[in-house]
A and B are shown apart, each in its own frame.
Chain A
Amino acid sequence: MTALKEVRPEIQAGPRRLKVSLKRQEAITGYLYILPWLLGFLAFTAFPFLASFYLSFTDYTVVSQPRFAGFANYAEALSGDDLFWGSLRRTFTYAIVGVPLGIVGSLSCALLLNQQLRGTTLFRALYFLPSLTPLVALALLWQWIFQPDFGVLNFLLAMVGIDGPGWLSSIEWALPSLIIMALWTTVGGGQMVIFLAGLQGVPQELYEAVEIDGGGAWYRFRHVTLPMISPTLFFNLILGIIGALRVFTVAYVSTEGGPAYATWFYILHLYTQAFKYFNMGYASALAWIFFIILISFTYLQVRASRHWVFYAGDTG
């Protein structure tokens, strides 16, 4: 804590009271800066948002005109559709297992690569490679790794005497397989790079201060690194959860939701309804239900973050 106390006074020495005119000036300047986004949002996003909201109350097969259907789509999702709750449950399972593993994995990699070891530049690039592999190649690649018979994974397992499962083609193992697949692609990718950048922002003198106090490695991590990178951690967490709950691609390219719906995730269900079963109205309702779940989730996280995320430059 010593380290933090050192910086805090400066941070809190922000503006005390502002005159009204100054406040207005600040507001106008602020609006000017976000204007590009505001215009873009109104032009390209607001209408699709409204349209999809309207469509969620219609019967719309794309080829024909939308027909108003009241709350029928919502009722169907919540009570009629066998796959709705199942896909939601699977999606949350995926996120609950995948997100912590991903965050811990990425952060560990970032910490490792931040140790000023020789050859770090090379290692960083190697870690990043998987996330650069195009999707179509990825699908083939994992098919080969997960091959039940003589795939690499089961080959390695056999060397230590384990009879490996059927992975992607097994009802029990398909979901874990996709988590492994996603971790391989993402652990050394974007999340790690963001952590790395965050770690670079931790001022050296804070570590030095702790060193003088005699804090060990864990103490340094817990009391300097973690608070200082909490904004990036917060970012990765929010994005990680949104990303995990939106899981689609890995299943889309490798299992198509099977076997026996074992990897039939929520967005896959939505996509299938929209573009394979031509229930665009229903898919829109699914989208809005998902939206409501996730936005409340995100809002809670943003609220909670005030207690653990530390911003050196917070304007309050």
Chain B
Amino acid sequence: MFDTRVSRRQFMQLGGMGLGAVALAACVPATPGASPLGAADEEPVVIRFHGRTGVQGDHFIERARAFEEENPGITIKEELFPHAEYHQKMEVLLAGQTMGDTFWTVLLSGLYHRYANQGVLLALDDMVAADEYDLGVFFPESLDAASHAGSLYSLPWICHPGRVGCFYNKQLLADNDLEEPPEDGDWTFENLLEYAKVLTQDTDGDGQIDQFGMQPGRDPFSLLVWARASGGEIYDEEGKTSLLDSEETLSAIRFVYDLMHVHNVAPSPEQQTSDMFVSGRIGMVQSGYWGQSWKNQIGDRFELGAAPMPKGSTGINGSMYEFDPACIYSGSEHPEEAFEWVKWLANKETGIRIAEAGSVPGSRPDVWEDPRLTQFPIHNVFTNIMYNVLPFRGPGNFRGLEIRDTYSNGMDPVWLGNEEPDNVVPTVSAKLQEVLDKPPA
């Protein structure tokens, strides 16, 4: 009974023997694995698509209708799931082999490459070749990031250069006679520190600081921006060795720590609240392209500006190319039609529309250069970064979520000021190494 390899079907039978047979007899059995579509013969091919609800979900719906108008033979059935449980749902669909034809997934969690590695994704090389589809329209980095073991497993839907934006409150800067940070990113950690010092104030004179200078991100990808500017990395190119405790990365961690606990110009996580910047109590904040959406919450309280995060000791600005892929399920019965839809998601108009909706633009220079987007000054700041973006790097065993939890919980004592970086980082790095040493997920 306890064979070394038991398929799902086998243990279905195992459980089915004698179990529930009575109660289930009355129920109509259906063909397993069939998608619940009930498409008749002459109707258009239905392509199922999974994405997450919210701003992006609304966008998918809009683009699906536009696609159907141009492609009367194909109907897109969008199945959107909530963000927080999206990947749980994916696992269940995969376990039941009831995955939709096409779906959205993410890069940083390692899921995209995990799926590619596990054979869940359809390799697109043949279809790209047969279609004479021009991959040159994309940022070259996207093709690197989308490839796994020499094959292309998706077309990019959106992309951005990471948590590279130093967003600032123009009003606060002006009030303190500070020039706006340079749009080309030609400023240094030290410049930023000086800005932050000026902006950090006790505005009501009660002896407690109530306005801070700078709020750095706490996640590993925010730290990566500081680390790369200092010549450091979180792990090596293969994603097999932790470099968190390398001198370069450690120096970046020390700098961020000092902002919080030595210079006291950044709120420690214990003081920090999500609304501090938006409500005007913080001068600068680190975020990504999507930070522009804050303008909706800020209203007319102040004007939002953004510059690249400063250069570190290496003289470069830190960044990392990230994209959201549109994939085809390897079990899809309509790969050709699915490919049409994936191409649609990667086209110029889609790339512009999603940025207009408040998310991030498509992974094509022609999208980033389009006048519909270049009219926004902050967009152009990010475009400049895109042209010099540093490559994506992920964990070699695709355990990105595990890396993230290990990093976050391990580094909390540092950011909270309970421990000095030098005491904790080697331990956290060892923990990361333990995760990286695990077999592929």
Asked if B191 lies at the interface with its beta carbon under 8 angstroms from chain A, I say no
CA distance A171 to B270 in the complex (A): 9
CB-CB under 8 A from A63, the residues of chain B are 91, 94, 114-115, 118, 120
Q: Mark A238-274, 1 if CB is under 8 A from B, else 0.
A: 0000000000000000000111110010000000100
Contact with B along A23-36 (1 / 0, CB 8 A): 00000000000000
The number of chain A residues with a CB under 8 A from chain B is: 43
Q: Give chain B nearest CB distance to A228 CB in angstroms.
A: 39
Within 8 Å CB of B23, what residues of A?
A: 39-40, 42-43
User: Contacts A42-B20, A68-B3, A258-B409 known; A50 to B418 CB distance under 8 Å?
Assistant: no
A75 to chain B, nearest CB (A): 16
**Contact residue among B273, B399, B409 (Cβ-Cβ distance under 8 Å from A148):** B273
Q: Are A166 and B271 in contact (CB under 8 A)?
A: yes
Q: Residue on A with the closest CB to B424?
A: A260
| B418 proximity list for chain A (CB < 8 A) | 171
Contacts of A272 in B (CB 8 A): 405
| CB of A117 to closest CB in B, whole Å | 39
Kindly list chain B residues whose C-beta atoms are within 8 Å of the C-beta of A58.
6
Nearest-CB residue, chain B, relative to A163: B208
Q: Is the CB of A39 within 8 A of B5?
A: no
A43 touches B94 (CB 8 A): no
Of A40, A147, A169, A260, chain B has the most CB atoms within 10 Å of the CB of A260
Instruction: Say whether B409 contacts A257, CB under 8 Å.
Output: yes
Q: Knowing A68-B4, A169-B272 touch, does A260 contact B409 (C-beta < 8 A)?
A: yes
The distance from the CB of A169 to the nearest CB of chain B, in whole angstroms, is 5
Flag if B2 contacts A277 (CB, 8 Å). no
Q: List A contacts of B210 (CB < 8 A).
A: 149
Given contacts A143-B274, A169-B269, A258-B409, contact A42 B19 (CB under 8 A): yes
| A62 lies within 8 A of chain B by Cβ | yes
Residue of B nearest to A259 (CB): B412
The answer to whether A275 and B6 have CB atoms under 8 Å apart is no
Min CB distance B188 to A, Å, is 30
- Per DSSP, chain A at the interface is loop
Give the distance to chain A from B280, nearest Cβ to Cβ, in Å. 13
CB distance from A260 to the nearest CB of B (A): 4
We find that the number of chain B residues with CB closer than 8 angstroms to chain A is: 46
Interface string of A259-295 (1 = CB under 8 A from B): 1110010000000100111100000000000000000
* Contact A171–B6 (Cβ < 8 Å): no
Bound Cα distance from A51 to B20, whole angstroms: 14
B1-34 at interface with A (beta carbon < 8 Å): 2-8, 11, 14-16, 19-20, 22-24
A21 within 8 A of B: no
Minimum distance in angstroms from B169 CB to a CB of chain A? 17
State whether A65 touches B6 (Cβ < 8 A): yes
Q: Is B441 an interface residue (CB 8 A)?
A: yes
Cross-interface CB contact of A43 among B20, B114, B410, cutoff 8 Å: B20
Residues of chain B with a CB closer than 8 A to A165's CB: 270
In the bound complex, residues from chain A placing their C-beta under 8 Å from that of B412 are: 171, 258-260
Bound CA–CA A65/B6 (angstroms): 7
The digit string for B228-266, where 1 denotes a CB below 8 A from any CB of A, is 000000000000000000000000000000000000000
* Interfacial chain A residues near B272, Cβ < 8 Å: 148-149, 169
A43-B20, A46-B19 are contacts. A170–B416 as well, Cβ < 8 Å?
Answer: yes
Query: Are B11 and A275 interface neighbours, CB within 8 A?
Result: no
Residue B413 CB within 8 A of the other chain: yes
Cα A65 to Cα B119 with chains together (Å): 13
Known: A62-B94, A147-B273, A275-B87. A51 touches B19 (CB 8 A): no
Q: Which residue of A lies closest to B269 (CB)?
A: A169
Whether A51 contacts B15 by the Cβ 8 Å rule is yes
Chain A: minimal CB distance from B328 (Å): 16
CB nearest to B120 among chain A residues = A63
* Given known A42-B23, A258-B408, contact A277–B399 (CB-CB < 8 A): yes
Q: How far is the CA of A151 from the CA of B401 in the complex (A)?
A: 31
Would you give 20 A-B contacts (Cβ < 8 Å), ordered by A? A44-B20, A46-B15, A50-B19, A51-B15, A54-B6, A54-B11, A61-B118, A61-B441, A63-B91, A65-B6, A66-B6, A166-B271, A169-B269, A169-B272, A169-B416, A171-B412, A258-B409, A259-B416, A260-B410, A260-B412
Task: Taking A43-B24, A276-B405, A277-B399 as given, write out 20 further A-B residue pairs in contact, using a Cβ cutoff of 8 Å, ordered by the A residue number.
Answer: A39-B23, A42-B19, A42-B20, A46-B19, A50-B19, A51-B11, A51-B14, A54-B14, A57-B2, A61-B441, A62-B94, A64-B118, A65-B7, A68-B2, A148-B273, A149-B276, A169-B270, A171-B413, A257-B405, A264-B409
List the 5 shortest-distance A-B pairs measured between CB atoms, nearest first. A166-B270, A47-B15, A43-B20, A259-B412, A260-B412
